[in-house]
Structure 1
Amino acid sequence: MRALPVRMDAVLVQALIAAALSFAHLHDLASAAGQDGWKAWAYPVSVDLLMVAAWRRLRSGESKAAGWCWFLVALTASLGANVATAGLLDLDDVPAWLRILVAGWPAVAFLGGTLLAHGAPKTPRAMTDTEPRSTVTDTAPQAPATEVEPPVGAAELPPVDVASAQPPSAPVPPALVALARKVADEHHARTGTPIDTPTLRARLGVPLPLAEAIAAQLT
């Protein structure tokens, strides 16, 4: 599959310009600190490569503490060179402490790049977690299957009369029967028909079993 060409947009152009300026500032600072020739050009390369390695570690999903640490170290070196070459530092008279920092930077960059590129690999825990564990039940001999006899069917019971099995209805108070009789007479006088159980239950406000028992005594 053919790779797509790099899209030249404003953001990429801006990044290239910023990288070129930072590269030039680092070269000027290294040259002013006594690193002449090819060594002055190697300093900005080491700073940029350390920053790229730290950024790749942050994007890889591994331990981000080391990535952030070395990214800040490279960023501090780059920003320090930019500020130092902006007129705040006399490049003709570089202080001794800055010469020491510039001279010790290759060792720092080498250490950071090595730690970022050759970090400790992750232990494959997935293999250890999914290993089957031997149990006693795997090696224990299984007993032969025995045929289970079907249970003998129970003898059929004679049918039970539902009407005789129902409990007797509770006795109705005489006062309630008298009230129900009065309500039934009023209903018969008004409609000409005997009162039914649902109407009697609604007029008296009693449960349905009690209304049925009252209606049975009114007939």
Structure 2
Amino acid sequence: MNRSIRVDAVLVQAGIAGALSFAHLHDLAAASGQDGWKAWAYPVSVDLLLVASWRRLRTEGPSRLAWSWFLIALSASLGANVATAGFFDLQHPSSWLRFGIAGWPALAYLGGTLLAHTSPDPTSDEPTEPLPTHESAPSDAASARRLIEAPGREEPAPATASVPAALVDHARKLADDHQARTGSAIDADTLRARLGVPAQLANAIVAQLD
């Protein structure tokens, strides 16, 4: 029950404020030379712009367009309240006040058109490309290091355990023969030339011969 009383009080307060602002806008327009139905059209125009901008804020979220026109309409309403409170001589309104009243319909039409027919920025809903994660850094660094250490070589570096046993046995025979002829252990470059294998594979075989 307390909630219903509070809501009713808010609605009554809003109705009073709206009625006073509506009357003040009418009086200001009438004092500026807009008589008859034209004076009543001004408060309707201001209220419609307020409603349109507030609806845009509620349905599509905050935006500079909606906030700008909401503040313009609110300033027009508050300005009419102040102007009719004795701060201006409405018996002899100034030229700039007449100019503002005369230009309001075009300004309100522009604001209403922009609010009704301008779509939100579509780029805000477009998915962005994911940034590279830190896991890719080690592989990239390792690839760059291999290119620097072995330029022009594209063959992979085989692990020692991946060397076939038959190839190791054949290499051991070549190493024994080289030892017998030269008196020194065979090196990787010589073994590579004798076997016709890549340098990485020759290094792996030499490591198994030791």
Q: Does 1:97 align with 2:96?
A: yes
Alpha-carbon deviation of 1:34?
0.3
1:31 and 1:9 map into 2 onto residues whose CA distance is 33
Scaled by the length of structure 2, what TM-score is found?
Answer: 0.54
Query: 1:139-179: CA deviations, max 9, x gaps?
Result: xxxxxxxxxxxxxxxxxxxxxxxxxxxxxxxxxxxxxxxxx
CA distance in structure 1 between the partners assigned to 2:113 and 2:83 by the alignment: 28
Q: 1:93 to 1:125 in 2, by over 3 A?
A: closer
CA distance in 2, matches of 1:8, 1:60: 22
| Distance in 2, Cα, partners of 1:73 & 1:124 | 27
5+ unaligned residues in a row in structure 1: which ranges? 1-6, 130-219
Distance 2:77 2:43 in 1: 8
For the residues of structure 1 that align with 2:118 and 2:44, how far apart are their CA atoms? 22
| Amino acid of the structure 1 residue aligned with 2:21 | S
2:25 equivalent to 1:26: yes
Structure 2 counterpart of 1:83: 82
Residue type of the alignment partner of 2:30:
S
Whole-Å separation in 2 of the counterparts to 1:125 and 1:72: 25
The RMSD of aligned alpha carbons is 2.3
The one-letter code matched in structure 1 to 2:96 is W
Q: Bigger shift: 87-96 or 56-65?
A: 56-65
In structure 1, C-alpha distance between the alignment counterparts of 2:124 and 2:93, rounded to whole Å: 53
Q: Distance in 2 between matches of 1:120 and 1:69?
A: 16
What amino acid does structure 1 have at the position aligned with 2:53? A
1:116 equivalent to 2:125? Answer no
Partner amino acid, structure 2, of 1:84? A
Write the distance in 1 (CA, Å) between the matches of 2:127 and 2:16. 50
Q: Which has the larger radius of gyration?
A: 1
1:72 partnered with 2:71: yes
Partner of 2:34: 35
Change (3 A) 1:89 1:125: closer
Deviation per residue, 1:99-137 (Å, 9 max, x gap):
0000000000000011001112554997999xxxxxxxx
- Inter-partner Cα distance in structure 2 for 1:78 and 1:100: 16
Query: Match for 2:116: what amino acid?
Result: A
Q: Structure 1 residues 37, 120: CA separation in 2 closer, same or farther (over 3 Å shift)?
A: same
Q: CA deviation at 1:90?
A: 1.2
CA distance in 2, matches of 1:33, 1:87: 15
Q: Which amino acid aligns with 1:90?
A: D
Question: Aligned in 2, Cα 1:93/1:118: closer, same or farther, shift over 3 Å?
Answer: same
- TM-score calculated relative to the size of structure 1: 0.52
Structure number with higher helix proportion: 2
Q: How many residues align?
A: 123
1:123–1:44 CA distance, 2 compared to 1 (3 A): same
| Structure 2 Cα separation of the partners of residues 53 and 83 of structure 1 | 24
- Whether 2:56 is the aligned partner of 1:47: answer no
Tell me, what secondary structure is at the counterpart of 2:64?
A: helix
2:15 aligned partner: 16
Change (3 A) 1:123 1:34: same
Sequence identity (%): 67
